[in-house]
């Protein structure tokens, strides 16, 4: 056999030895995706196991597994980077957090959420204002020669709340029924609206003096806020009716799998709508869960076993760990090599934690009876991706030819996000054990 | 407000009005993915409903929904093309068919499959040889002036079986326990090995006289076949022990969701391994299902409800319809505009159907007792993507400066794939009703 023929055959084998069901390239992609998912699942389970052994919530272990997988390049292993940076896994992880908030919404009820609405609003506002002021103060203290806009940006980066971690921990520990849990979840929804306002104001202010941002306009701000609030009002007013209508008519069809398909479609539709109204998709997913009356719709599906949540839970077991391992993979340990940055990050973290601790004191009146203010404060700690968005946005904003958030500040914010995310699961566990709840 | 400021603000709003939880671009992607999935689910359910109303298997309706969605560009609606052509949905659909074959494997047992192994092998071989000869004959008849290699290629394109449709129909109708179902599934696995051999031989033969292919070598052919058979032998010999080992030790950990995670990991691992050994991932997924002893492993998970399949089914309800709608979206109705091509496609379809009808007669001895040969013949009809792979491969092979499969022949093969795929669900329904089974 000639050499050129052999090479041609090898090329042929490379393309076609993958079986007859799809073209080589696609089937290669499928196979590595399956392997990647397997690594994510096993990583999540191993990490979860480790965490449970240490009497910590499984989610901490999933984050830890992600940190290990994501930082393997630091020791020269680059085979897993696609799991952290690839679009496919990133989208799957988004389905994970959407399903998680849908599940959390299913376990809560709209009327209970509305009952704590006032308390949640105050908690949210304090939880935004206090960290903002502290972050601003840290900026003035440690970066006195930088412009006021830089200080404002640090404050903004410290203000938002990322609800995924807290929701997961409270759900895993079976504590979603607690008054504190409802206040935290309600505050997180309101935080999303507040975050929009802050982004618009801060971005507008910087844009009006620098480049790369927009100008500040009260009318536009009103529009943004109005849209976001409009979605919440619409969801509360019409969501329950829409979901009951959907399930009542869907149930009549007696088609296998209709219940789950309708539920997922309703959840994804509200997530999309929330995005369209300017809010995060997970706010829509949570609203979807809240506005499904589980006991009420179950009677439309007498031929299906259990509650809706019993159906969604298996999907969630597939997608949710992907989200947390993926979040862990976003943690870049290489920022920890610069001691100045680490110190700055530690100070920001202290400010971020203290800023949220005053939240709990926002609960007043009858709602405050027997409430654990520390639990609320700890539940509001995680910044997750939200802080990173602010940091990335600031890194792209130019002021007098320099980025508002420079590389050192960006890394310090990353450290703050890492620490607040990682301390929340053990923090919540501690707070719950402390009061035996 | 100045115009330039307004534009800057609009740009800012475009990027940041999507909520605070992720950067604008990514969140946009997430939102349209959620909307896309919703459309796929609702399309699948509506199509399924339509099919059930016409007393047809739901899968026919899902394919139909896909055909409608995929051909909307013909009437000027292009908003849904991403659902059919995007990598993300294509990968999700692959998870769908992998989970389907895993489920089908779970419902079957390895010992039963091995018992029909001999019959399945004869069915598979006849089901490859007969359509090959008929396809070759059609080529000689209708394209007498084309080279023998073109005729061989037509034969090859008619020889493979795509098991997804048949497996789904038999599963939905609760007929996987039938002797015929086991023979069809076994034959499909063996077909995958035969398909590899045909691809190597045909590709090698054409490559040795033309360009763009490889040369034929008996040693390499033996290697390909050996690898594929090696996987099957390994899976049969070690699979059950591996899965029992996994579940026994996993069960001891008492971690929520461990059962499902291990099962999915095992399924994805065998799918990957099958690919690595040269077979299709779905062969690995089927082998994974076969080698899990459901009753046996359930006792390792006394804290979980039901059988393993009860857990996998909810995942399958999410992913499997995506596969069939996606398959339907691949059907390009614009090939139906050329009457010569349609006629040629119709002739190929007749050859494809007749070629598989003789399969059933390959069942002999005790296995033939009470067997419905027509049912087996119909179950082997669908060519699915497999025929398309051959067609695409032939379109890229050049012989005397012309592609072996030219545009007209390619379109005719596409028509054959369309028709064989679409006729299988009603065909199987008819065959089962005819004998009251």
Confidence bin at B209 (pLDDT 50/70/90): low
Given an 8 Å threshold on Cβ–Cβ distance, is A27 in contact with B280? yes
What residues of B are in contact with residue A217 (Cβ under 8 Å)? 1, 5-6, 9
User: Who contacts A274 (Cβ-Cβ below 8 Å, separation ≥6)?
Assistant: A231, A235, A280, A281, A282, A283, A284, A285, A287, B19
- Nearest residue of A to residue B52, measured between CA atoms: A255
Quote the CA–CA distance of A175 and A75 in Å, as a whole number.
39
A273 domain-assigned: yes
**Residue with tokens 């989970």, as numbered in its chain:** B99
Whether residue A315 has pLDDT greater than 60: yes
Given an 8 Å threshold on Cβ–Cβ distance, is A204 in contact with B314? no
Q: Residue B409 is part of a domain; what is its CATH number?
A: 1.20.1530.20
pLDDT per residue as tens digits for the range A221-254: 888 889 999 999 999 899 999 999 999 998 888 7
B16 domain-assigned: no
pLDDT per residue as tens digits for the range A286-295: 999 999 988 8
B365 Cα to chain A: minimum distance (Å): 31
A396 Cα to chain B: minimum distance (Å): 12
Span A196-215, average pLDDT: 68
A22 domain-assigned: no
What residues of B are in contact with residue A314 (Cβ under 8 Å)? 260, 311-315
What residues of A are in contact with residue B32 (Cβ under 8 Å)? 272
Of the ranges A3-17, B162-176, B319-333, which one carries the lowest mean pLDDT score? A3-17
B277 domain-assigned: yes
A245 domain-assigned: yes
Confidence bin at A209 (pLDDT 50/70/90): low
Confidence bin at B160 (pLDDT 50/70/90): confident
Given an 8 Å threshold on Cβ–Cβ distance, is B88 in contact with A90? no
In this prediction, what percent of chain B has a pLDDT beyond 90? 49
For all residues of chain B together, what is the average pLDDT?
85
Given an 8 Å threshold on Cβ–Cβ distance, is B19 in contact with A274? yes
**Which of B12, B34, B196, B277 to mutate: most A Cβ within 10 Å?**
B34
Quote the CA–CA distance of B98 and B271 in Å, as a whole number.
8
**Residue with tokens 């449970």, as numbered in its chain:** A52
pLDDT per residue as tens digits for the range A33-87: 999 999 999 999 999 999 999 988 899 999 999 999 999 988 888 878 788 878 8
* The predicted structure's pLDDT at residue B14: 36
pLDDT per residue as tens digits for the range B76-122: 888 787 888 888 999 999 999 999 999 999 988 888 889 888 999 99
* The predicted structure's pLDDT at residue A208: 66
What percent of the residues of chain B are helix, what percent strand, and what percent coil, each to the nearest 5? 80, 0, 20
- Nearest residue of B to residue A195, measured between CA atoms: B20
A139 Cα to chain B: minimum distance (Å): 22
Quote the CA–CA distance of A383 and A352 in Å, as a whole number.
9
Out of A98, A265, A280, the one facing B42 most closely (by C-beta) is A265
* The predicted structure's pLDDT at residue A13: 36
B47 Cα to chain A: minimum distance (Å): 12
Reading the block at residue A84, the tokens are 């952290």
Confidence bin at B214 (pLDDT 50/70/90): low
ipTM: 0.85
A235 domain-assigned: yes
Quote the CA–CA distance of B174 and A95 in Å, as a whole number.
31
Count of the separate structural domains present in chain B: 1
Quote the CA–CA distance of A431 and A365 in Å, as a whole number.
23
pLDDT per residue as tens digits for the range A9-37: 333 333 333 333 334 467 788 999 999 99
What residues of A are in contact with residue B278 (Cβ under 8 Å)? 17-19
Cβ-contact B97, B164 below 8 angstroms: yes
For A137, half-sphere exposure in the C-beta direction (CA atoms, 13 angstrom radius) is 12
* The predicted structure's pLDDT at residue A106: 92
* The predicted structure's pLDDT at residue B400: 78
Whether residue A407 has pLDDT greater than 90: no
Which range, A167-171, B10-14, B24-28, is most confident? A167-171
Out of B19, B256, B318, the one facing A264 most closely (by C-beta) is B318
Span B388-404, average pLDDT: 79
Higher pLDDT, A370 or A101: A101
User: Who contacts B269 (Cβ-Cβ below 8 Å, separation ≥6)?
Assistant: A34, A35, A38, B288
A373 domain-assigned: yes
Show the 3-state SS of chain A.
CCHHHHHHHHHHHHHHCCCCCCCHHHHHHHHHHHHHHHHHHHHHHHHHHHHHHCCCCHHHHHHHHHHHHHCHHHHCCCCCHHHHHCHHHHHHHHHHHHHHHHHHHHHCCHHHHHHCHHHHHHHHHHHHHHHHHHHHHHHHHHCCCCCHHHHHHHHHHCCCCCHHHHHHHHHHCCCCCCHHHHHHHHHHHHHHHHHHHHHHHHHHHHHHHCECCCCCCHHHHHHHHHHHHHHHHHHHHHHHHHHHHHHHHHHHCCCCCHHHHHHHHHHHHHHHHHHHCCCCHHHHHHHHHHCCCHHHHHCCCCCCCCCHHHHHHHHHHHHHHHHHHHHHHCCCHHHHHCHHHHHHHHHHHHHHHHHHHHHHHHCCHHHHCCCCHHHHHHHCCCCHHHHHHHHHHHHHCEECCEECCCHHHHHHHHHHHHHHHHHHHHHHHHHHHHCCC
Whether residue A381 has pLDDT greater than 70: yes
Reading the block at residue B124, the tokens are 């598979």
What residues of B are in contact with residue A37 (Cβ under 8 Å)? 95, 264, 268
Chain A and chain B share a number of CB contacts under 8 A equal to: 306
- Residue span of the structural domain in which A179 resides: 108-312+338-434
Q: Give pTM, 2 decimals.
A: 0.87
Out of B11, B45, B90, the one facing A258 most closely (by C-beta) is B45
Cβ-contact B124, B191 below 8 angstroms: yes
Given an 8 Å threshold on Cβ–Cβ distance, is A260 in contact with B48? no
The runs of H, that is alpha helices, within B143-217 are 148-157, 164-172, 179-209
What residues of A are in contact with residue B311 (Cβ under 8 Å)? 314
Neighbours of A407 (CB within 10 A): 12
**Residue with tokens 């008519």, as numbered in its chain:** A249
């Amino acid at each position: 056999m000639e050499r050129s023929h052999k090479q041609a055959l090898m090329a042929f084998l490379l393309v076609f030895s993958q079986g007859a069901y799809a073209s080589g390239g696609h089937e290669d992609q499928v196979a590595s995706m399956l392997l990647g998912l397997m690594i994510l699942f096993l990583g999540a389970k191993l990490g979860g196991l480790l965490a449970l052994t240490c009497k910590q919530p499984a989610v901490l272990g999933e984050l830890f597994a992600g940190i290990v997988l994501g930082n393997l390049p630091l020791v020269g292993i680059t085979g897993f980077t696609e799991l952290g940076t690839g679009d496919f896994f990133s989208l799957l992880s988004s389905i994970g957090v959407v399903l998680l908030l849908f599940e959390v919404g299913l376990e809560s009820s709209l009327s209970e959420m509305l009952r704590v609405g006032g308390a949640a609003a105050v908690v949210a506002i304090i939880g935004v204002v206090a960290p903002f002021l502290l972050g601003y103060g840290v900026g003035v203290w440690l970066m006195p020669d930088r412009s006021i806009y830089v200080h404002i940006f640090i404050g903004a980066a410290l203000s938002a709340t990322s609800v995924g971690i807290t929701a997961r921990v409270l759900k895993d520990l079976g504590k979603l029924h607690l008054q504190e849990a409802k206040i935290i979840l309600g505050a997180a929804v309101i935080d999303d609206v507040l975050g929009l306002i802050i982004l618009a104001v801060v971005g507008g202010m910087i844009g009006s003096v620098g480049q790369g941002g927009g100008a500040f306009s009260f009318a536009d701000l009103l529009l943004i806020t109005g849209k976001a609030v409009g979605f919440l009002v619409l969801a509360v007013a019409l969501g329950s009716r829409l979901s009951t209508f959907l399930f009542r008519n869907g149930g009549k069809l007696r088609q296998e799998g209709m219940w789950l398909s309708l539920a997922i479609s309703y959840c994804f539709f509200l997530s999309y709508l929330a995005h369209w109204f300017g809010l995060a998709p997970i706010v829509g997913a949570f609203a979807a869960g809240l506005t499904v009356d589980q006991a009420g719709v179950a009677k439309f599906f007498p031929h299906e076993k259990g509650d809706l949540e019993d159906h969604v839970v298996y999907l969630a077991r597939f997608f949710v760990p992907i989200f947390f391992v993926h979040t862990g993979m976003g943690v870049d340990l290489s920022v920890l090599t610069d001691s100045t940055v680490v110190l700055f990050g530690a100070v920001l973290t202290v400010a971020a934690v203290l800023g949220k601790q005053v939240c709990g004191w926002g609960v007043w009146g009858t709602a405050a009876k027997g409430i654990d203010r520390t639990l609320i404060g700890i539940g509001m700690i995680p910044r997750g991706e939200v802080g990173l968005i602010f940091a990335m946005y600031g890194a792209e904003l130019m002021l007098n030819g320099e980025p508002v958030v420079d590389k050192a500040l960006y890394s310090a914010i990353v450290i703050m996000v890492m620490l607040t995310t990682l301390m929340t699961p053990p923090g919540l566990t501690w707070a719950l054990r402390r009061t035996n709840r």
